[in-house]
Amino acid sequence: MTSENEEYYKDRYQEVKDKVEYKDFLNDIEEITLENSDSPFITTEQIVNMAVEKYSDRKNVQQTHTNQVQDISSLVEGNGNISIQGRLLSISNIKTFTTKKGREGKVANLTVEDSTGKIRVVMWTDNMKYMSRIKEGDIVKINNLEVRKGYTGDLEVQMRNNSSIQVMPEELGEDLPKYEETITNLEDIVEEGEYNVIVRITKVATLREIQKEDRTLKIITINVMDATGDMEFTLWNNDTDLVETLELKENDTIKIIKARAQERNGVFSLSNSWNGRIVKDDYDLPEFKQEIFKIGNATEKENVTIMGVLTKIYDTIVFQKNDGSEGKVRSIEVTDDTGSIRVTLWNKETEIAMNKGDFIKIEGGNIEFDDYSGDSYRYNTGWNAAIVLNPEMDDELKEKLSEIDNLEITKIKDVLDVDLDEGREVDVIGRILAMNDIREFQRVDGTEGQVRSIDLADETGVVRTSLWDDKADINQGLGDAIKIENARTRLGQGTMELSVGKSSRITIPEEDEIEDLPSYQTLEQERYNDRTVSQLEENEQNVKLRVRVINLGQVNTFSRSDGREGKVRAIYVADETGEVQVSLWDDDTNVDFSDGAALIIENPTVQSQNNRIRLSISGGSNLRKARPEEAELMPTLREIESQLYVEKLIEDIEDDDSHIKVRGVIEEINGEKILYAMCPNCNTRIVQSEEGYICDSCGEKIEEPNYLMIIQATLQDETGTISATFFRDQAEKLIDTTTDEVIDIFKQTGDESSMAGKIEDLIGHEITLIADAQYNDYNEDVRLNVRKIVIIV
């Protein structure tokens, strides 16, 4: 209960405070509210009035609760359990609403008149069973009514759950007003007022919305005709639901009771009144013959009806109107047996569910010259057009439209045919075989754009597909089937590709459309060549590797030639035949992998550097975590390491050894100098001078260098000693401290040797590591470059 309501309740309670306790008065209000929870139009004032009337003994108020028939003129607000009897003058159509409890309700209005006056009768959901038993002109007795003040301020009676309607004999109506249902021809409507008409529907326009101040008005215009003429009949707001409720469509015949006629600019039109009704029946009216315009004869023409098959559907585009409100536009292509035409749909029309292959009739639009194409026409639906999907048509036209064959899905092998012209619009269905991250870019005009590349595959081939701007943000992932309509072919690097932009549409295909589409696993096997690490050859393409992560490098930043920042990260992966370095770039460097993670790498760039194979994940590559069933078939990390890393004693290490496992005790370690300043541009070592840091390679002064951690140590086993160098992440792992933490310590202490004590505590600890051996020309000895620390004891 709000404070405002509480004050109102207290004020009204003063009228009955001598008859009832305040808490009981509030309980009465709550009970009445619950009883009327399905009445959406009842007000707080009406509810409180009923609570007050329960205890009030106001003078001059003759309350009646006897259910006896009362004269309409004698009814008083608050009367309950009364009956009225009179002539039924009007019946409204049933309207639906949502109750405060969220249930669907129904409401209808009757107008009843006796010899003393007339009144509106409000019917609710439980009373609708009587609607089929009554008609205008009947003499009715309506029982168990309550008298209330309506939203207009006039008295009305409302039916309750236990109310009833009886149709009484005509002989009881001698003193009642007569009912005459006069049917007016459309040509005879020459003055404003209410009329009864019997007409045939010739067009049902699409629902429109009009924004007016703080509310949205809904409108449907229905074109009607009789033997004398034609006219527009308009439904507003909730009345627009009658089109669906009564299933109104072209060629239906209807009687409109109490249609309101209005004149504007010398032309009359009709609209539904609050107490009017539409009755659908089989009335005797002239047949309606509609002229269908042949699309192949397109020329500028107004109020044209076309009929054809939907051959293209484009996505809806949202734009901002001059008044700041939101507008929507969508294009479709309609084809008949003579040609095709682009159709422009607006606002609510864009929300109509339609599919390629649907038959469609559009009425009331205009054919205009298409300035954008420069050599064709388009059909603009405009304000009063009607769109009918799968309309009735003669067998001959239906057969012709069924023969239109440009609805077929194009196989990818046909997309890839370079002998065909680029710029074709095609529809394709396939599975996503590879998928890159979204890349942002700036257009020549300064606007921001985004693009994502995917590889789309069916049983006939694989095509590189570029998804532009909003099309790049798709929910589907690897292995998912998608359908792309209106994709445009373009010639890429010696092969055809697909471009998916504003005029394209991406949907999920139906089950019957993908019943012959191979599974993702099958398509993978057909496209990629399974290789082990030892089988890799330089420049080999369409390679697929099943590997595990054995070492993760750090992310390094660099500056590109255009000044943009780039990122690179090296990870090391291996199978039972060998180990290989994989370079990840930019966003791929953020992928979270752990040691031992099973990976699938598809179509990497295979290069050779210093006689060693290196892999790079580029635009056409795909790197993903292995599915559980794939990982189960791969060797474990322990099994891979036992195959790859030969354990050697120090005296047996040779200068060309790689991937060897060495175990030894840390005999010496240098903790005095472990951080080295590096140029952030070219990543070369720099030295501080009086002028600060200056890079000899770049020639530029460096305000804030990058830092590289390097720790030198000497290992000893029972056969000898050897020097080992720990770089970057392995140095961090050795001393269990990050580079940034070391930098902070040095800044706080001002002493680059402040970590020496902690580092020298490692002397005497046994360590097992994986390393490459390298001959040092300066000292003429063999040293170890540590690749991975296995364990420190």
pLDDT in tens, 647-696: 999 999 998 888 899 999 999 999 888 888 888 777 788 877 777 788 87
Quick one: average pLDDT of 571-575? Answer: 91
**pLDDT confidence of residue 60:** 39
**pLDDT confidence of residue 763:** 94
**pLDDT confidence of residue 533:** 92
Alpha carbon separation from 667 to 584, 715, 724, 755, 778 (Å, rounded): 37, 6, 11, 18, 22
Write the DSSP assignment of 762-774 as a string of letters.
TTT-EEEEEEEEE
CA distance linking residue 220 with residue 204, whole number of Å: 7
pLDDT in tens, 53-70: 777 654 334 444 456 789
Please tell me which residue, 230 or 32, carries the higher pLDDT value.
Answer: 230
* For the chain, percent of residues with pLDDT exceeding 70: 95
CA distance linking residue 683 with residue 165, whole number of Å: 93
- Is the pLDDT at 467 greater than 90? The verdict is yes
Pair type for strands 193-204 and 660-669: unpaired
C-beta atoms surrounding 158 within 10 Å: 22
Angle (CA) 165 78 139, round 5°? 25
**pLDDT confidence of residue 58:** 43
Quick one: average pLDDT of 762-778? Answer: 90
CA distance linking residue 159 with residue 138, whole number of Å: 18
In the block, residue with structure tokens 């096997």: 525
**pLDDT confidence of residue 465:** 93
pLDDT in tens, 442-456: 888 888 999 988 899
C-beta atoms surrounding 382 within 10 Å: 14
Distance of CA 194 to the CA centre of its chain: 47
Quick one: average pLDDT of 324-342? Answer: 89
Please tell me which residue, 38 or 423, carries the higher pLDDT value.
Answer: 423
Please tell me which residue, 165 or 152, carries the higher pLDDT value.
Answer: 165
**pLDDT confidence of residue 593:** 83
Please tell me which residue, 374 or 482, carries the higher pLDDT value.
Answer: 482
Quick one: average pLDDT of 697-722? Answer: 87
Please tell me which residue, 83 or 434, carries the higher pLDDT value.
Answer: 83
| DSSP structure class, residue 92 | P
Which of 460, 459, 452, 504 lies closest to 483, judged by CA? 504
Give Dmax (Cα) for the chain. 131
Tokens found for residue 622: 């795909």
Amino acid symbol at 281:
D
CA distance linking residue 101 with residue 37, whole number of Å: 7
CA distance linking residue 278 with residue 253, whole number of Å: 10
**pLDDT confidence of residue 59:** 39
**pLDDT confidence of residue 39:** 59
pLDDT in tens, 129-143: 999 899 999 999 999
Pair type for strands 481-491 and 496-500: antiparallel
* For the chain, percent of residues with pLDDT exceeding 90: 41
pTM for this predicted structure: 0.58
Q: Three-state DSSP class for 39?
A: coil
Helix, strand, coil content of the chain in percent (nearest 5): 20, 45, 35
Rounded mean pLDDT of the chain?
87
- Is the pLDDT at 596 greater than 60? The verdict is yes
CA distance linking residue 715 with residue 724, whole number of Å: 7
CA distance linking residue 397 with residue 336, whole number of Å: 9
- Is the pLDDT at 762 greater than 50? The verdict is yes
Q: Which residues partner with 199 through β-bridges?
A: 254
Poorest-pLDDT segment among 48-52, 475-479, 489-493, 537-541: 48-52
pLDDT in tens, 521-572: 898 888 888 899 999 999 888 899 999 998 888 888 877 776 778 888 889 8
Cα-based torsion angle of the residue sequence 529, 533, 535, 540 in order, rounded to the nearest 10 degrees: 60
Quick one: average pLDDT of 17-33? Answer: 83
Please tell me which residue, 239 or 686, carries the higher pLDDT value.
Answer: 239
H or E element that contains 525: helix 520-527
